[in-house]
Structure 1
Amino acid sequence: MVRRWLFPVLLVGAGVGVMVRQTASGSPLAGVVLGLVFAALAVALSPLSFPRSLTAAEALRRSAVDGRPIVYWRPGCQYCLRLRVRLGAAARRAHWVDIWRDPEGAAAVRLITGGDETVPTVVVDGQPHVNPDPGWLRRQLG
């Protein structure tokens, strides 16, 4: 749980530090702007930017029923964020599994990738795809 929020918390802390320094040096507007940039980055790289995460078992069960893809991801991953942003609203049509929250999900990714926890790893119709093109996945989500 702690490592999921570590990077976003560090970004907020850095943003506060930059704000204080800019304000102390006579540039309060620059401090506020930079603080907001750091806060926006913290939110983007936090679990808040992703659809609600399921366990791997629940995602497999739901995928078997509705045929939707399973996306294995982890907070702070720039490739996961890129995939999430490029999918837009279509991201809600996939089942998302946070591998830092679910040991079964991490084990599934290691099995697929030969021992690494490379994310995003997407499973569509039982076929795994490591770091797929977001446009391709959007077409799969239809």
Structure 2
Amino acid sequence: MDDIVLYGADWCGDCRRAKTWLRENKVAFTEVDVEHDEAARARAVELSGRKNIPVIVLPGGTVLVEPTNAELKAALGL
């Protein structure tokens, strides 16, 4: 499976929750910090059409914005 990319920031509660859920379910992901990287922030907005985070890009290109744990589970087929 290709790596999942999570665009987020350390101060973001939804980002921390999503990262915790992914780790607990042993789902590999790459974290991209949008707070300190303007290009990454612009890419997250481009992908999602919104300024909300986290923006999670799944293998195959599906984009989730601020997903709940249940939405993550369903999207990943877990």
TM-score by length of 1: 0.45
Where relative contact order (Cα < 8 A, 6+ residues apart) is larger, the structure is 2
Distance of 2:50 and 2:67 partners within structure 1: 18
Instruction: Structure 1 unaligned segments of length 5 or more: list them.
Output: 1-65
What pairs up with 1:9-24 in 2 under 5 angstroms?
A: none
Percent identity among equivalent residues? 21
Q: CA deviation at 1:80?
A: 0.8
Structure that is richer in helix per residue: 1
Aligned to 1:132, which of 55, 62, 67?
67
Structure 2 CA distance for partners of 1:73 and 1:141, relative to 1, 3 Å: farther
The answer as to whether partners of 1:73 and 1:119 remain within 8 angstroms in 2 is yes
Q: Is the 8 A contact 1:93 1:141 kept in 2?
A: no
For the pair 1:120 / 2:54, whether they are aligned, the reply is yes
SS at match of 1:112: helix
Alignment of 1:72-83 (within 5 A): 72-83=7-18
C-alpha separation in 1, matches of 2:23 and 2:2: 20
Whether the 8 Å contact between 2:6 and 2:55 is mirrored in structure 1 is yes
Alpha-carbon distance between aligned partners in 2 of 1:78 and 1:71, rounded to the nearest angstrom: 14
CA distance in 1, matches of 2:32, 2:66: 15
**Is there any run of 5+ residues in structure 2 with no aligned partner, and where?**
none
Q: In the aligned structure 2, how far is the partner of 1:91 from the partner of 1:80?
A: 16
How many pairs are equivalent?
A: 76
2:22 maps to which of 82, 87, 98: 87
Rg larger in structure: 1
**Distance across 2 between alignment mates of 1:73 and 1:91:** 19
The TM-score with structure 2 as length reference comes to 0.74
The structure richer in strand per residue is: 2
- Taking only aligned residues, the RMSD between alpha carbons, in angstroms, comes to 2.4
